[in-house]
């Protein structure tokens, strides 16, 4: 899709200027202006974090990612906030602190995270960085793009030695290794890619086209970028489903959007037809269809149900692919976020490119949101490429997971369901804890949130699902009988032989009145325990009836013992961004047939 366009490149590629239009900055919505200035003032008053060797070594010593990243990301967010604020108000303090931050980033021994400090995919990380051989990971590339965009928009406000230092470090740490090494995310034949490919590629393109690299370098970069993006797209179905979940849409499909926008600016007219591809349009609209209501999204894999607010990239992607409903959704969600901004979590606002896009299009988005009004929620969507199916009936919102247990950022959750009532969580998917050394290692499925028994699924004699493509749903049928929505699946292949399963047929039916979950199992196992995860505190009423707070009632038929409720204490910082400090797991013992109705 991309590589075939290389023969049509112009003789001279255009540089890319990320600077927002002065006219757009003058007509910035007042809330956006106030927020940007407040962040800059706060950043100027907040000291630069100090990063020691022992901070870097925390990952190799004890497997702790959060400590180092808690020092690393605020530096980058600080520079973004200072640059954006300076564009609105040329405060000399903010410029000086921006230069201090630029210099500190240039002085770092390495830009990659300790958790990414390897040259081979899934290889053990080296404890120390090799300063003579930089690794281009997600955040090395992001840092290069941050400095490149800062240099481009601050321009002559920066002294020549500072601009020279930025060019030197970006060339040494990003462009040279990109053109002389092969990092796995660049693509290699049939090897499966993930969000790393467009995310890193977007930022390498920004380095090459915002800084004054020569024509030869730029042509080599755009050539490799196009080949990498095709490698990424080969793993997407025509339906555009992001197997990594709604939260990773921002790092996958939206970074693809940025790549396409950058190459379009570098080579006007050459890539126009790519915007019209059905797969690209479907990738753009995925997040709209996964939205439940308010802050909530259907979440599978390592995705949180609170998957972030929409912004300029979502809006522009929708406009570029001709999806007015999606554009309206993105613009309104962004506008609402100004009254409840997400401030300093994780990788928030480390991308200056994204913040500059927002400043450039804030006025347009505000006008669009007010003119379009609030559109109805997206209809249900079918994503057979990954086995994700969503539906709405009455006050209920449902998502069903088929597919297999080999998704990127996979959880063992084949056959699980997520249910909301009036936009409030009923049957939930926990998401993932704060990343640590174990998260992306052979010990991944020792982590409880990854396990099938902590999804809305049973185990058999205590045996849970296994990971891998062989552990999958089969004979999946989707229908819409009499105004309802029904997914039928054979799930026995999702468990290993030790489970003793010969057959496990699950039928999920959503009606305006509520949800029916019908499980019918056969095998040599002795005991089966179904699990339901809730945010609302359940109350066992007897006779197979369970109250789920004020949300509704669960009725069970086929129980062999009384249900029991387990309390899940939620202390992990990442989980607490989405959930209260206590969640609940209902355990429902059964033999071969279990019928659950939720109303």
- For 441-451, what is each residue's pLDDT tens digit? 999 999 999 99
pLDDT of amino acid 376: 82
- pLDDT, tens digit, for every residue of 557-571? 999 999 999 999 999
DSSP assignments along 237-270, one per residue: -TT---TT-HHHHTTTHHHHHHHHHHHHHHSTTT
**Scanning the structure block, which residue is given the tokens 């915007």?**
275
Range 536-544 contact pairs with CB under 8 angstroms and sequence separation of 24 or more = 536/425, 536/426, 536/584, 537/582, 537/584, 538/565, 538/584, 538/586, 540/564, 540/565
Fold (CATH) for 387-598: Beta-galactosidase; Chain A, domain 5 (2.70.98)
Pick the range with the lowest mean pLDDT from 94-98, 154-158, 221-225, 341-345.
341-345
pLDDT of amino acid 356: 98
Alpha helices, DSSP H only, in 338-425?
352-372
- pLDDT, tens digit, for every residue of 385-416? 999 999 999 999 999 999 999 999 999 999 99
- pLDDT, tens digit, for every residue of 431-484? 999 999 999 999 999 999 999 999 999 999 999 999 999 999 999 999 998 889
Residues 6+ apart with CB under 8 A from 214: none
- pLDDT, tens digit, for every residue of 163-221? 999 999 999 999 999 999 999 999 999 999 999 999 999 999 999 999 999 999 999 99
Instruction: Read off the tokens for 221.
Output: 């970069």
554 pLDDT higher than 90: yes
370 pLDDT higher than 80: yes
- pLDDT, tens digit, for every residue of 246-303? 999 999 999 999 999 999 999 999 999 999 999 999 999 999 999 999 999 999 999 9
- pLDDT, tens digit, for every residue of 9-68? 999 999 999 999 999 999 999 999 999 999 999 999 999 999 999 999 999 999 999 999
pLDDT of amino acid 379: 84
Instruction: Read off the tokens for 130.
Output: 């090799």
The dihedral through the CA atoms of 126, 127, 130, 136 has a sign that is positive
Distance in angstroms (rounded) separating the CA atoms of residues 474 and 479:
16
Distance in angstroms (rounded) separating the CA atoms of residues 39 and 443:
40
Residues 6+ apart with CB under 8 A from 269: none
Q: Mean pLDDT in the chain?
A: 96
For the chain, give the longest Cα–Cα distance.
Answer: 78
- Residue 27 C-beta-side C-alpha neighbours within 13 Å: 10
Q: What is the CA radius of gyration of the chain?
A: 25
Q: Where are the domains of the chain?
A: 10-372, 387-598
CATH of domain 10-372: 1.50.10.100
* Contact indicator for 354, 80 with CB cutoff of 8 Å: no
pTM equals 0.96
- Residue 108 C-beta-side C-alpha neighbours within 13 Å: 33
């Amino acid at each position: 899709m991309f590589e075939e366009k290389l023969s049509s490149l112009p003789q001279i590629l255009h540089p890319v200027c990320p600077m927002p239009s002065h006219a757009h900055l003058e007509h910035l919505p007042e809330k956006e202006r106030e927020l940007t200035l407040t962040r800059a003032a706060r950043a100027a008053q907040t000291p630069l974090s100090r990063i020691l060797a022992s901070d870097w070594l925390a990952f190799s010593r004890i497997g702790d990612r959060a400590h180092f990243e808690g020092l690393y990301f605020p530096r980058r967010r600080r520079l973004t906030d200072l640059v954006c604020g300076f564009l609105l108000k040329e405060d000399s303090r903010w410029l000086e602190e921006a230069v201090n931050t630029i210099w500190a980033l240039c002085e770092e021994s390495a830009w990659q995270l300790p958790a990414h400090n390897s040259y081979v995919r899934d290889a053990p990380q080296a404890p120390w960085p090799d300063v003579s051989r930089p690794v281009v990971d997600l955040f090395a590339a992001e840092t290069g793009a941050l400095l490149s965009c800062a240099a481009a928009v601050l321009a002559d406000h920066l002294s020549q030695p500072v601009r020279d230092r930025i060019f030197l470090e970006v060339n040494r740490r990003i462009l040279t290794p990109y053109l002389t090494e092969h990092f796995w995310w660049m693509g290699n034949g049939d090897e499966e890619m993930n969000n790393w490919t467009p995310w890193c590629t977007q930022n390498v393109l920004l380095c090459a086209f915002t800084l004054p690299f020569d024509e030869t370098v730029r042509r080599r970069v755009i050539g490799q970028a196009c080949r990498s993006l095709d490698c990424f797209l080969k793993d997407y179905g025509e339906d555009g489903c992001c197997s990594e979940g709604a939260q990773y849409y921002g790092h996958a499909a939206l970074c693809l959007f940025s790549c396409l926008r950058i190459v379009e600016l570098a080579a006007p007219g050459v890539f126009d037809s790519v915007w019209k591809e059905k797969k690209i349009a479907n990738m753009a609209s995925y997040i709209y269809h996964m939205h439940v209501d308010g802050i909530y999204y259907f979440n599978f894999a390592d995705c949180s149900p609170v998957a972030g607010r929409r912004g300029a990239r979502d809006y522009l992607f929708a406009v570029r692919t001709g999806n007015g409903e999606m554009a309206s959704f993105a613009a309104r969600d962004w506008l609402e976020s100004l009254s409840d901004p997400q401030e300093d979590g994780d990788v928030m606002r480390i991308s200056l490119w994204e913040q500059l896009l927002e400043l450039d299009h804030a006025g347009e988005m505000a006008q669009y949101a007010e003119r379009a009004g609030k559109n109805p929620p997206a209809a249900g969507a079918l994503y057979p490429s990954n086995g994700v199916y969503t539906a709405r009936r009455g006050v209920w919102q449902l998502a069903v997971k088929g597919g297999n247990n080999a998704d990127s950022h996979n959880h063992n959750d084949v056959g699980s369901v997520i249910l909301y009532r009036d936009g409030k969580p009923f049957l939930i998917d926990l998401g993932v804890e704060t990343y640590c050394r174990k998260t992306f290692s052979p010990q991944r499925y020792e982590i409880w949130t990854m396990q099938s028994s902590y999804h809305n699924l049973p185990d058999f004699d205590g045996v849970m699902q296994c990971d891998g493509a062989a552990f999958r749903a089969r004979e999946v049928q989707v229908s819409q009988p009499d105004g309802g929505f029904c997914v039928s699946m054979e799930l026995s292949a999702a468990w290993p032989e030790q489970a003793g399963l010969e057959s496990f047929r699950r039928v999920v039916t959503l009606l305006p009145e509520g949800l029916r979950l019908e499980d019918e199992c056969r095998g040599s196992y002795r005991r089966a325990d179904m699990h339901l995860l809730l945010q609302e505190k359940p109350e066992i009423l007897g006779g197979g009836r369970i109250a789920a707070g004020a949300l509704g009632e669960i009725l069970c038929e086929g129980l062999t013992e009384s249900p029991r409720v387990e309390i899940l204490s939620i202390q992990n910082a990442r989980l607490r961004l989405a959930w209260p400090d206590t969640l609940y797991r209902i355990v429902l013992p059964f033999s071969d047939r279990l019928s659950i109705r939720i109303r």
